[in-house]
Amino acid sequence: MPAFFSDGGMLKESEKIEAFVYFWLFKLAGSKICRYNNLVFYFRRHLMKKVVCILVFLIAFSFLLTGCSKKQETKSESIETETSVATVKKPEEMVYAIVTKSEGNRYNELEAEGYQKVIEEFGATCIVAHPKSTTAMEQVRLIEKLIEEDVDAITVAANDADALDDVLKKAQEEGILITTVDSNVNPDYTSLFINQVDTKTLAQTLLDAVYDISGGSGQWAILSASSMAPNQTAWIKQMKDLMKEDEKYKKLDLVEIAYGDDLDQLSKNQATAILQTYQDLKVICAPTTVGCRAAAEVVADTETKCLVTGLGLPSEMDDYIADEGPCPYMYIWDSEQVGELAAYATLALMKDELVGMEGHSFTAGDLGKFTVQENEDGGAEIVAGMLLRINKNNIDHWKNVM
Ligand code: RAM
């Protein structure tokens, strides 16, 4: 059987055979499938509707042919089957939920606002769930609750990949469509990851900023969010790999990776500790909006030559962006638009406009056309790709946007 059957125990034997048949049907039609769980979802929830309609038609037609003696029986049979078709909800009658990484983080709020706007404009119901902290446990609790509430789709920005496996498996078994945004889960448990920026491109961009700001050599540190956050760990791993692979970075010395859990005070404490330990530190790179702001504040209040870069929210970094420091420049994307894109993609899956197959495209409203690709772990992904470089020349514009 093909490699895609490493399903983490998600499917029963009969379902594997079902998926196997779909796989070959699509392969014969010339399409490459990123994940077969998309196919199972697609066939179960969408094509089945069409199959039921055809069956209704055939049953009604055959009863008509058998004549008037069975007229009464035909009527009741048709009514019964029509009722079952009528119970299949339309995408606009469904309930969509977004589970962010944590409450009290403006970045997450913007992402959820964008998602909610698109879902509600479509005419459907949207639930926004912000966990109390950046832990998987909080997300598991919220997802359990959403399963009980019988929602139809859940979009998650994961605080941990492995720890969400079981609850997402349970949701999928209940027929709930799972998509991910900002921070991904294991590929069997999502139909599509809406990635803000290609992982390697982002790592390269941040590392080049460290290289540039440090003058190409010396000590630098990373101030991350939570240690299990899949987006943070993926970016950090890529940065480390690039440092090993490329001679250009051989004089850069990554002395510490600290975690502030996307909490303001903890991030400030971590930044203070790093500066005390490494007096010659040249750069703190914080690939999290909370960490970036906290590090900039600490650096601004400390006698140090250290500078800050990373991923910051312009409205939170206005006081700190300047050529002479604490933050000469940083990067970010429009997180509200990424949330919008996640909603458009989830709706496209619900509306049969997208199956999560490599090379398939769909239009996300005004945001334009996006194409599904296979990511490093074999899952389906679309990349928003809206990386912005923020410096003193454009902060005044962007601080009013996000
Ligand atoms: C933080 C979160 C999020 C990350 C952004 C850049 O607010 O940690 O996951 O993508 O920053």
Q: Take atom 5 of ligand 1 and give the residue whose Cα is closest.
A: 288
* Percent of the chain whose pLDDT exceeds 70: 82
- Which helix or strand (DSSP H or E) is residue 344 part of? helix 335-350
- Tell me which of 159, 206, 222, 262 to substitute to probe ligand 1's pocket, judged by most ligand atoms within 8 Å of the beta carbon: 262
pLDDT score for 121: 98
Residue 297's nearest CA partner among 275, 317, 311 is 317
* DSSP line for 128-195: EE--SSS-HHHHHHHHHHHHHTT-SEEEE--S-SGGGHHHHHHHHHTT-EEEEESS---GGG-SEEEE
Q: What is the pTM of this model?
A: 0.85
**Radius of gyration over every alpha carbon of the chain, rounded to an integer in angstroms:** 25
pLDDT score for 320: 98
Give the tens place of pLDDT for each residue, 307-365. 999 999 999 999 999 999 999 999 999 999 999 999 999 999 988 788 767 788 899 99
User: CA 226 → CA 53, 102, 138, 236, 361, distances in Å?
Assistant: 49, 11, 13, 12, 33
Q: Take atom 1 of ligand 1 and give the residue whose Cα is closest.
A: 288
Query: Please, are residues 277 and 293 in contact by the beta-carbon 8 Å criterion?
Result: no
282 lines ligand 1 (CB under 6 A): no
Q: Take atom 6 of ligand 1 and give the residue whose Cα is closest.
A: 288
Give the tens place of pLDDT for each residue, 152-175. 999 999 999 999 999 999 999 898
Strand-pairing partners, residue 24, are: none
Distance of CA 227 from the midpoint of ligand 1 (Å): 13
* DSSP line for 7-70: -TT-S-HHHHHHHHHHHHHHHHTTPEES-HHHHHHHIIIIIHHHHHHHHHHHHHHHHHHT-GGG
Q: Take atom 2 of ligand 1 and give the residue whose Cα is closest.
A: 288
Give the tens place of pLDDT for each residue, 258-301. 999 999 999 999 999 999 999 999 999 999 999 999 999 999 99
Token output for 294: 């906290």
Query: Please, are residues 371 and 361 in contact by the beta-carbon 8 Å criterion?
Result: yes
197 lines ligand 1 (CB under 6 A): no
Give the tens place of pLDDT for each residue, 17-34. 666 676 677 666 655 555
Question: What mean pLDDT is reported for the chain?
Answer: 88
Distance of CA 107 from the midpoint of ligand 1 (Å): 7
Parallel, antiparallel, or unpaired: how do β-strands 388-390 and 330-332 relate? antiparallel
268 lines ligand 1 (CB under 6 A): no
User: What's the average model confidence in pLDDT over 43-60?
Assistant: 69
Token output for 401: 């946007």
Q: Is 152 left (phi over 0), alpha (psi -120 to 50) or beta?
A: alpha
Query: Please, are residues 376 and 385 in contact by the beta-carbon 8 Å criterion?
Result: no
Give the tens place of pLDDT for each residue, 97-131. 999 999 999 999 999 999 999 999 999 999 999 99
384 lines ligand 1 (CB under 6 A): no
User: What's the average model confidence in pLDDT over 254-260?
Assistant: 98
Band of residue 81 on the pLDDT scale cut at 50, 70, 90: very low
Distance of CA 255 from the midpoint of ligand 1 (Å): 22
pLDDT score for 33: 55
- Tell me which of 111, 135, 205, 288 to substitute to probe ligand 1's pocket, judged by most ligand atoms within 8 Å of the beta carbon: 288
Question: What does the DSSP 8-state code read for residue 394?
Answer: T
Torsion of CA 388, 393, 396, 400, to 10 degrees: -10
180 lines ligand 1 (CB under 6 A): no
- Tell me which of 106, 182, 290, 309 to substitute to probe ligand 1's pocket, judged by most ligand atoms within 8 Å of the beta carbon: 182
Give the tens place of pLDDT for each residue, 131-154. 999 999 999 999 999 999 999 999
Give the C-alpha separation, 352 to 332, whole Å: 32
Band of residue 42 on the pLDDT scale cut at 50, 70, 90: low
pLDDT score for 74: 46
Query: Please, are residues 364 and 341 in contact by the beta-carbon 8 Å criterion?
Result: yes
pLDDT score for 1: 36
- As a whole number of Å, the end-to-end CA separation of the chain is 48
